[in-house]
Structure formats: structure tokens, C-alpha cells
Amino acid sequence: MNHWPIIPILIPLAAAILLLVSHSWPMLWSRIVSFGAVLLLAAAVIFCLGLADSGEVLVYRLGNWPPPYGIVLVLDRLSALMLALTSALAIPVLLYAMAGTDAEGRHFHALFQFQIVGLNGAFLTGDIFNLFVFFEILLLASYTLLVHGGGVERVRAGLAYVVLNLAGSALFLIALGLIYGTLGTLNLADMALVLVQVPPADQALVRTAASLLLVVFALKAALLPVSLWLPQVYGAASAPIAALFAIMTKVGLYAILRVSTIAFDAAPFAANLLGLWLTALALLTMALGTMGLLAAQRLSIITANLILVSTGTLLVAFTAGNANATAAALYYLPHTTLVTGGLFLLAGRIASQRGALQDLAERGPQPRDILLTGGSYLVLAVAVAGAPPLSGFLGKLMLMQSLSNAGLAPVFWAFLLVTGFISALVLARTASVYFWEPERQAPAVSAGVVIQAGSMRTTALLLLTAASPLLMLAAAPLSQYARATAEQLHGRAPYISAVIGDPAAIQRERRP
Amino acid sequence: MELVVSAGIGVLVAAGLYLMLRPTSFSVVLGLTLLSYAVNALIFFAGRLNAESPPLAIGGANGIADPLPQALVLTAIVIGFGMTAYLVALALRTKGESKTDHVDGREEA
């Protein structure tokens, strides 16, 4: 059996345990271990990406129990893509945090690694109960990372976030209980096989469970009625944490995509369950995010609203249910995650240079290093607004083309273009306040330590700023990969046969 | 029996939801606890209600109880317990910093 699928979980887990054990050692040790683990993980993930790109679906059976009885990890193209994205975001975020954020509270690095364990596990698992467990790991790490550094604002936002997610977890468990009660399995591939044989009497219960599951994932992805928590929480978190959280909403979207394409779409009665509702809510999420953009007064809140907009955009494409739209969305997803992550880091940088004003869009001292700060602002803003020549433009173009035949095309095009225009407007307005209307007072002279810390933060910011131009340059191979991923996902059969093998060999019992 | 169990779960959920919507974090914690009791019971009974059947394949026993929900519910209990402990710690810290138990960190104006 190929052991690669479990490596992306084991590396951060081992690092986290090591960091917990040696937490009283000097900070330098923690930083070396943590950063080393992330680099090692990136190398392993690149190898996994190569494995997955062969088109084979790699299945890892824990304890070598034959599916559907044991727990499986599945590495396919989609998992590998999400793993790569996690690593690509984690490296600059950790680099930024190592410049001082990690010393504001205890156990930062261990929690950071646990967060990555949860993320990678959620992307790799082939079993929805395990998905729940990895969700809880990443949530518990995120609860503590959110309040890292303390402060009444963060603790208050943290309380709301924890309560909301605990309620979400309860709903998740209710859905799992109902699914197990009706289908008798929690393995995604096996669910697809069992779903087609569900007797009509149980179908309503299965549909209820599936809808509950979608509600939970929508909560993680921040879809409209359950999205109102996001700006407050992301605005309260410190810059590198908020940047890491940029991928958290994508976990919800990933789960929606994975569970519906592999399992629920297999049976007509459960397929496309909340179809039109989800599409409508996704469009409304885009609208609400855009209104939030207009109302926001801080760059970090603007970025949080940009995340809402991207959630809506991606979900419209995912609910379209065809491989073209999914492929376009899978090109757009890494772009939006890395660019919003970069914007959070930039907001942190600007906030650290403007004293008490923080990143509030009001006249104040001009940020230092105007070329660097202003330059990365320009690149990130152009990318996120979807203007040429960066990856946002290409991603949006691909999305629009892929949905051009859908009935909703005119509405979606209008929403996408108007939100892009308003994002550009808001970011331009904010930039003009930051960079062009400074008060005539020189910013405070910085100490040597700040400059040293600044160089790590600068590197981190530059790495994420470079993401969009790089995604643009690598657009051809990336979109090919995204297309192959979408086809593999919507093909469904290779995934199921890789996990289950011979369905006839499973002995099923009809339960009362 | 099924009716009693489902009604019991329903009452727990209703009470949990009511408490969760209260404005003090103490009631919210209690509400979440009740909700997680209800959820754990639901998962446990997803393996069907059957008496006198062990979760092991023993010869002569009156059928086998499904062992998987028992494993699932154990995991859910542990996770729920840890999460509730963290929530209590966080609620205490909020109370310490904002001097009120109100979930928004301030009393209604």
C-alpha cells in the first residue's frame, strides 16, 4: 500500500506534538521546528501532487481494514490541489507570524500545526465522520488562534465564533446520525452505492440529512443567512491568523463540492438538493459582501467582505453541476485564497505603520516604504478586482465562459461584473486615503528590531503578492489540471471503484 | 419505546435551542450542553433500539447490536466535552475582561 496519502497529516501532527512537548524551550527552537515542518510538508505535498496528477486515485486504509468498514484517506486530484493551496498559504503566513505575532501568546506554533493537520485531514478523508473529526481539529485550533494575543475585541468575537461553530457541529452530528441510521454507512464512496437502493420510505430522511449537511458546510463557507459572523471574526483576528483563515471558508466549499459530486449526485432523489436555493443564496452572498465592501472602513474588513464575495462566486459555479464550471472555479479558488490572504497581511502591515489609526481608512501618517507597500497594494487590488492582466481577470473570464449557457448566465455575469467594479472602486478609494492624502507628519522613527522583523514580514507579503502574477503565468498548466480535476470529480466511478473495489463483495444486512 | 426516545430527544433539542438563544453566556453554554446530549442520543439510537443483543458476535445471542454508533458517539462525546470546556474557559475570560456575562460583552443600552 502506498503510504503517501497520510504523510501530509503526519508531518504537521508530529511537529505539533514536538512543539507541545518542548514548549518551554526558546522561541527560536519553536520557530525552526514549525517552519521546517511547513517546508517539509510543502515538499511532500508537491510529491503528492505529482502522484495525483497521474490520474490514479490513491486510497490509504488505516489499519488495513477493507472499506467500507475502516477509515480511508483518499488522495485524488482535488485533494492534492487543496493540499498544495494550504501549503502555499501556510509558508508566507508562518513567515509573517514569526516576525513577532507568535510571541504574543503561548503555543502559537503548536496550534498553527494542528490547524494544518485539520485542514489537510479534511481534504484527504474519504469518510464523512472523519471529516467531522478533522473539522473539529481545525476549528479548535482556529478558536484558540483567533483569540491569540488577547484583547476584549478578540475574545468577544471568539465567543460568538465558538458558539456558532458548536451549534454547527451539533447539526453536523445530527446529519451524520440520520445518514448512518438510513444508509448504514458513512464512507463517501459506499454512500454513493447505497443511495441508489434507498427505499422510498427512507428517502425523505436522507434528503433531510443531506440538506442539514449542506447547511453545516454553508456555515463554514459563510453563505448568506449564516455568513454574518465572518467580517467581525476575521476583522478581530491578527493579520497572519486572518490570512490563514482565508482558506477556512474554502474548506466548507470543498466539502460541499466533494460530498455532492461523489455521494449525493449518485441518486436522483438526493442530487441537486438545494440547487436553485443555493445558487440564489450564493448570488445574495455576493450582493451582501459587496454592500459590506461599501460600508467597510478598514482594509481588514474590506478583505473579509471580499472573502464573502468569493464564496458566493465559487458556489454559483459549484452548484451549476457541470465539469466546465467546476474547472473554472478550481482555477479561481487558489487565486482568491492567496490574494485575500495577501490583503490581510498587507492590512496588518499598514496597520502597524499608522499608529492608533491602524488600518482605518482615514487621513493619517503615510505608510513607510511607499513603493513596496503601495506596489503590493496595487498588485493585490488589481488581482482581487479581476482587472487584466492578473489571475483574477482570467479566473472570472473562465467562470463567465463556463456558465454562459446556463439559464442564470445574465444574472451571474451582472453580479460578477458589478461586484468586481465595486471592489475596484472601494480599493481605489481606500488606497487614495492611505497613500495620496497623508497628513504632513512624519511617521515615528522605528527601532532596529522593527526593521529586522519588517524584512520577514516584507518577504511574506511579497510571496503572496507574487501569487497572482505566478498563477497568471502558469495559467495553462493550472487550468489543465483544474479541468482534469473537474472531470475526475464528476466522473465519480474511478473514485468509487478505487475505494470500494468490488461492491458485490460487501455483505449488507437489511436493518429493521 | 421509539416514540418515547424520539420525544425525549425532541424535548432536549427544544430546551437546548431556547437556552442557546438567551443573552447570557452561562445559559448558552447550558443550551449547547443539552443540544449535544440530544445529538449524542440521536447518533446512539441510529443503531436501532434493540434489547439484549451484545455489540459482539457471540454464538447464541439474540442478534447483534450495531457497534459503530457506539464508537461514533464516544468520539462525539469526547469532542463535545473538550469544546464545552474551552467554551466555558472563553466565557469566563470574556466575563473577566468585559465585567458582564452578556454574550455581546455589554448590557443592552
Identify whether the C-beta of residue A359 lies closer than 8 Å to the C-beta of residue A495.
no
Q: Best of A156, A213, A216, A233 to disrupt the B interface by mutation (most B CBs within 10 Å)?
A: A156
> Is the pLDDT reported for residue A452 higher than 80?
no
The answer as to whether B105 is a domain residue is no
Range in A70-74, A468-472, B100-104 with the lowest mean pLDDT: B100-104
Q: Is B98 part of the contact surface with chain A (CB cutoff 8 Å)?
A: yes
Q: Best of A129, A148, A163, A508 to disrupt the B interface by mutation (most B CBs within 10 Å)?
A: A163
The answer as to whether B109 is a domain residue is no
Task: Chain A: give the shortest CA distance to residue B18, in Å.
Answer: 13
> Is the pLDDT reported for residue A146 higher than 50?
yes
Letter for the amino acid at A106?
R
- If you average pLDDT over residues A259-284, what whole number do you get? 87
> Is the pLDDT reported for residue A368 higher than 80?
no
Going by C-beta distance under 8 Å and a sequence separation of 6 or more, which residues neighbour residue B70?
B44, B47, B55
Q: At what angle do helices A299-320 and A323-353 cross, to 10 degrees?
A: 170
% of chain B with per-residue pLDDT over 90: 51
Residue B101, pLDDT score: 81
- If you average pLDDT over residues A318-327, what whole number do you get? 89
Residue A113, pLDDT score: 96
Task: Chain A: give the shortest CA distance to residue B102, in Å.
Answer: 10
**Helix/strand/coil for A258:** helix
Higher pLDDT, A38 or A443: A38
Range in A132-146, A354-368, B29-43, B66-80 with the lowest mean pLDDT: A354-368
Q: Is B15 part of the contact surface with chain A (CB cutoff 8 Å)?
A: no
Going by pLDDT thresholds of 50, 70 and 90, the confidence category of residue A7 is: very high
**For position B22, which CATH number holds?**
1.10.287
From the list B40, B46, B105, the residue facing A180 with the nearest CB is B46
Going by C-beta distance under 8 Å and a sequence separation of 6 or more, which residues neighbour residue A373?
A346, A349, A350, A353, A367, A435
Task: Chain B: give the shortest CA distance to residue A407, in Å.
Answer: 39
Average pLDDT, chain A: 89
Distance set, CA A384 to CA A281, A329, A394 (Å):
22, 15, 11
From the list B42, B69, B105, the residue facing A174 with the nearest CB is B42
Give A214-234 pLDDT, tens digit per residue: 999 999 999 988 888 899 899
From the list B20, B43, B68, the residue facing A167 with the nearest CB is B20
- Comparing alpha-carbon positions, the chain B residue that sits nearest to A146 is B90
* Residue A509: burial class (beta carbons within 10 Å; 0-12, 13-18, 19+): exposed
The answer as to whether B22 is a domain residue is yes
Give A460-504 pLDDT, tens digit per residue: 999 999 999 999 999 999 999 999 999 999 988 889 999 988 888
- Comparing alpha-carbon positions, the chain A residue that sits nearest to B44 is A177
Quote the domain boundaries for residue B16.
Answer: 2-50+65-98
Residue B65, pLDDT score: 81
Q: Which of residues 23-42 of B touch A (CB under 8 A)?
A: 25, 28, 32, 35-36, 38-40, 42
> Is the pLDDT reported for residue A449 higher than 50?
no
Q: Is B5 part of the contact surface with chain A (CB cutoff 8 Å)?
A: no
Look at chain B and report how many structural domains it folds into.
1
The answer as to whether B60 is a domain residue is no
Q: Is B88 part of the contact surface with chain A (CB cutoff 8 Å)?
A: no
The answer as to whether B108 is a domain residue is no
Map A179-240 to HEC letters: HHHHHCCCEHHHHHHHHCCCCHHHHHHHHHHHHHHHHHHHHHHCCHHHCCCHHHHHHHCCHH
The answer as to whether B73 is a domain residue is yes
Residue A448, pLDDT score: 47
User: What DSSP designation does A407 have?
Assistant: T
User: Of A294, A338, A290, A343, whose CA–CA distance to A313 is shortest?
Assistant: A290
Going by pLDDT thresholds of 50, 70 and 90, the confidence category of residue A447 is: very low
Going by C-beta distance under 8 Å and a sequence separation of 6 or more, which residues neighbour residue B102?
B23, B24, B25, B108
C-alpha cell at B53: 443483543
Question: Residue A51 CB: number of other CB atoms within 10 A?
Answer: 15
The answer as to whether B58 is a domain residue is no
The answer as to whether B46 is a domain residue is yes
